[in-house]
């Protein structure tokens, strides 16, 4: 792969569920992240009066997906499954960044994902050209970076 000096655009990406084909046309994906907590510890016999930083548990941020409403009930069916089936409704989600030629350049794999929140569209008689948008917030247990 050639050395690239120009960052990739944030507008060219795909979202897929359970390793399947690309799911929907999301206009926004936000909140991809992970955080590691740090515990401070000091041995009682340390000669220097300072704390050590010890890695603790990690957590994955909640991920928000937004898209225009389609003639599809798949997201809402997943929410219903999470309500009834709990952990059995978990999915894996892959978010893939594409270059200008639609080739994957980096991906983020989320494991143990359940839908946490759904927000439907805001309807207004004015505007006329606005798209009815829906939003889903996902909770994930693990985040891995792929190629």
**pLDDT band at residue 2 under the 50/70/90 scheme:** low
Domain residue ranges in the chain = 13-32+61-146
Cβ-based neighbours of 52, under 8 Å, separated by 6 or more: 40, 41, 42, 43
pLDDT tens figures, 85-140: 999 999 999 999 999 998 999 999 999 999 999 999 988 887 667 888 999 999 99
Range scoring the smallest mean pLDDT among 11-25, 45-59, 61-75: 11-25
**pLDDT band at residue 82 under the 50/70/90 scheme:** very high
Question: Percentage of the chain with pLDDT > 70?
Answer: 95
Q: What number does CATH give the domain 13-32+61-146?
A: 2.30.110.20
CA separation for the pair 131, 117 (Å, rounded):
20
């Amino acid at each position: 792969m050639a050395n690239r000096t120009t960052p990739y655009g944030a507008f060219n990406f795909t979202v897929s569920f359970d390793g399947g084909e690309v799911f929907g046309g999301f206009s926004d994906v936000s909140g991809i992240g992970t955080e590691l907590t740090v515990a401070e510890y000091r041995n009682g016999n340390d000669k220097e009066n300072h704390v050590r930083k010890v890695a603790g548990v990690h957590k994955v941020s909640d991920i928000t997906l937004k898209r225009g409403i389609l003639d599809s009930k798949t997201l809402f069916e997943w929410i219903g499954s999470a309500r009834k089936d709990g952990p059995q409704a978990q999915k894996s989600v892959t978010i893939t960044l594409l270059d200008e030629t639609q080739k994957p350049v980096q991906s983020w794999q989320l494991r143990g994902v359940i839908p946490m929140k759904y927000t439907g569209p805001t309807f207004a008689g004015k505007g006329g050209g606005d798209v009815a948008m829906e939003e889903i917030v996902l909770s994930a247990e693990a985040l891995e970076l792929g190629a």
